[in-house]
């Protein structure tokens, strides 16, 4: 199995069995996002504890395999991180999807980085980039306590 096949395998697996697809009890922040071009919708629920750490994060929504896999992987990776660490990971991921070849954050281990790199295959497809980044933009809205619906079409 080559790297591309491994990446596809991981995306399909997360797309079929998304992690954290539920609503967090007593969430402290949330935000909705949508990608009208593909029909993807996500609602991110975030629970920060008193130390500004992510105690729980989950999502509800529906969409294509890329959107579901991206939200699934994202929610797994930011749990337990501090708010400022989450922001660093989001920025690093968005930079990687848009222009850079690799992730540079020290906050994730190699295994976690591999999961995010699975989504790098969308780079050549601008429509798919919107699917891959939807939940990340929505997480940013939730952290900023924004009441606006995050859209890929701003």
- List C-alpha distances in Å: 17 to 13, 29, 69, 128, 153: 6, 25, 8, 20, 28
The piece of 35-43, 70-78, 99-107, 141-149 that touches Zn ion (CB under 5 A) is: 35-43
The residue among 46 and 131 lying less far from Zn ion, judged by its C-beta, is 131
- Residues in 38-67 at the binding interface with Zn ion, rule: CB under 5 A: 38, 40, 64, 67
Cα 30 from chain centroid (whole Å) = 14
**Given the complex with Zn ion, which of 13 and 88 has the nearer CB atom?**
13
Nearer to Zn ion, 38 or 107 (CB): 38
What is the Cα–Cα distance from 46 to 57, expressed in whole angstroms? 5
Among 42, 68, 86, 131, binds Zn ion (CB under 5 A): 131
Taking the C-alpha atoms of residue 141 and residue 150, their distance in angstroms, rounded to an integer, is 7
Nearer to Zn ion, 28 or 120 (CB): 120
* Distance in Å, CB of 42 to Zn ion, minimum: 10
Q: What are the CA-CA distances from residue 101 to residues 35, 93, 94 (Å)?
A: 25, 11, 11
Residues of this chain that interact with Zn ion (CB under 5 A) are 38, 40, 64, 67, 131
């Amino acid at each position: 199995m080559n790297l591309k096949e491994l990446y596809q395998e991981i995306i399909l697996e997360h797309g079929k069995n998304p992690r954290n697809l539920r609503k967090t009890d007593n969430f402290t922040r949330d935000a909705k996002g949508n990608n009208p071009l593909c029909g993807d919708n996500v609602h991110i629920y975030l629970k920060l504890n008193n130390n500004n750490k992510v105690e729980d994060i989950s999502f509800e929504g529906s969409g294509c395999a890329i959107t579901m896999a991206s939200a699934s992987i994202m929610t797994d990776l930011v749990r337990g991180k501090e708010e400022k660490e989450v922001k660093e990971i989001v920025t690093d991921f968005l930079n990687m999807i848009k222009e850079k070849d690799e992730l540079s954050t020290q906050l994730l281990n190699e295994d976690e980085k591999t999961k995010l790199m699975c989504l790098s295959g969308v780079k050549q497809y601008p429509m798919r980039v919107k699917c891959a980044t939807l939940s990340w933009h929505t997480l940013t809205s939730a952290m900023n306590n924004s009441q606006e619906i995050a859209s890929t079409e701003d």
